[in-house]
Amino acid sequence: MPAAQFDYIAPTTVDEAVAALVNGGKDTRVMAGGTDLIVKIRHRMLFPTCIVNLKRIAGLDAISVDKKNGLTIGATALLADVAANKGIRRHYPTVAEAAGATANVQVRNMGTVVGNLCNASPSADNAPTLMAMGATVDIAGPSGGRSMPLDQFFQGPGVTALETGEIVIAVRVPPPPAGSGTAYHSLSQRGKLDCSAVGVGTMIVLNDDQCTDARIIVGACAPVPMRTRAAEKMLIGKRMTDTLIRQAAQTASEETSPITDVRASASYRWKMVAVLAIRALTDARQMALRKSTSK
Ligand SMILES: Cc1cc2nc3c(=O)[nH]c(=O)nc-3n(C[C@H](O)[C@H](O)[C@H](O)COP(=O)(O)OP(=O)(O)OC[C@H]3O[C@@H](n4cnc5c(N)ncnc54)[C@H](O)[C@@H]3O)c2cc1C
């Protein structure tokens, strides 16, 4: 089979990248690490006429952790660098864990967190935690910049809210609220060689023993990573006992609409959402309690 043919542009500024996308038209694709894009081209699932590589744009790989402004992960920051970053591991440990749980070492050394989001797979391992923590994406485009909550960014499998000529330049996570705890649990058939069949990311906030906020995001069980709002509501204003966690996890499972595919059956996914939600909520509660006792 002949190799796919396309033009290749490696701009050095965001403005040049946006101009290249606008000039190239709808079959021009952005590339960060290429670990999703090149696979799809090789499998003849995508036929771009031009690829715009972001990796030569200076500063786009920046990671910053700031007490006031929170965490910023630039568009070309590698999964491996996010997983290893000391500031992220200390202040946003679940963000680092999710990046470290994505794929294998080779892919993490090429692929990016932002590419994982822009690929818009329902199973994207970085989406549930970032959504649970209230992340937003910074977007550059022909009409300037805008930002958008991550939970509005995903529109369907492989589809984002990006318009023609737009690129994501960073994902931002606000500082974790006092009393918060986070966790991410996922399952896949072949460990790190395979995308997740189910993933659950949570953030809960405790005040004394009471849960004052809860977010439970389930990956790979709906067309987009989804918030399970009924389950969240069950926790808010109550003591997070083991019984309540089990009930909320069951409700989270009932809110999802998984399909059967190569990774798992729908019925297995339903069962595993409840299991992973119990684990994630229990770990998030543990983290919140640990923080409150070490104040
Ligand atoms: C062997 C293997 C195992 C994998 N395992 C996992 C796994 O366990 N979990 C998981 O979640 N994923 C997994 N993946 C998928 C993939 O590696 C990740 O999604 C990775 O994070 C993608 O990042 P990238 O920088 O390589 O994206 P790219 O391939 O460069 O881009 C992905 C998509 O996003 C678009 N894009 C990228 N950056 C931007 C931007 N800044 N603005 C606008 N659009 C953009 C591209 O046009 C493309 O459509 C695996 C892939 C392979 C090959």
E strands, the chain, in order: 7-9, 28-31, 50-53, 63-66, 70-74, 136-141, 144-149, 154-156, 159-160, 167-173, 180-187, 198-207, 210-219, 226-227
Q: Where in the chain is the domain with CATH 3.30.43.10?
A: 7-53
Closest CA to 287 of 94, 155, 44, 32: 94
Alpha-carbon distance values, 220 to 65, 96, 282 (Å):
29, 20, 21
Q: Where in the chain is the domain with CATH 3.30.390.50?
A: 180-293
pLDDT by residue (tens digit) across 144-160? 999 999 999 999 999 99
Residue 193 pLDDT > 80: no
Instruction: Pick from 6, 29, 30, 104 the residue to mutate for probing ligand 1's pocket: most ligand atoms within 8 Å of its CB.
Output: 30
Residue spans of alpha helices (H) in 92-192: 93-100, 105-108, 113-118, 127-132, 150-153
18 Cα distance to chain centroid: 23
Mean pLDDT on 60-73: 97
Q: Where in the chain is the domain with CATH 3.30.465.10?
A: 63-173
pLDDT at 293: 75
Q: Which residues line ligand 1 (CB under 6 A)?
A: 29-37, 39, 54, 75, 79, 102-103, 107, 110-112, 114-116, 118-119, 123-125, 162, 167-168, 193, 195-196
Residue 64 pLDDT > 70: yes
pLDDT at 192: 62
pLDDT at 256: 96
pLDDT by residue (tens digit) across 266-288? 999 999 999 999 999 999 999 99
Mean pLDDT on 115-125: 97
pLDDT at 98: 97
Band (pLDDT 50/70/90 cuts) for residue 295 is low
User: Which residue, by CA, sits nearest to atom 5 of ligand 1?
Assistant: 103
The CATH architecture assigned to 7-53 reads 2-Layer Sandwich (3.30)
Instruction: Pick from 6, 13, 29, 31 the residue to mutate for probing ligand 1's pocket: most ligand atoms within 8 Å of its CB.
Output: 31
| Average pLDDT over all residues of the chain | 95
Topology (CATH) of 63-173? 3.30.465
pLDDT at 1: 64
**From CA 224, how far away is CA 13, in angstroms rounded?**
31
Comparison of pLDDT for 291 and 96, the residue scoring more: 96
Mean pLDDT on 151-176: 97
Q: For domain 180-293, give the CATH superfamily.
A: CO dehydrogenase flavoprotein, C-terminal domain (3.30.390.50)
pLDDT at 111: 98
pLDDT at 109: 98
Expressed in angstroms and rounded, the spacing between residue 230 Cα and the centre of ligand 1 is: 31
Mean pLDDT on 192-208: 90
Residue 191 pLDDT > 90: no
Burial class (CB in 10 A: 0-12, 13-18, 19+), 192: middle
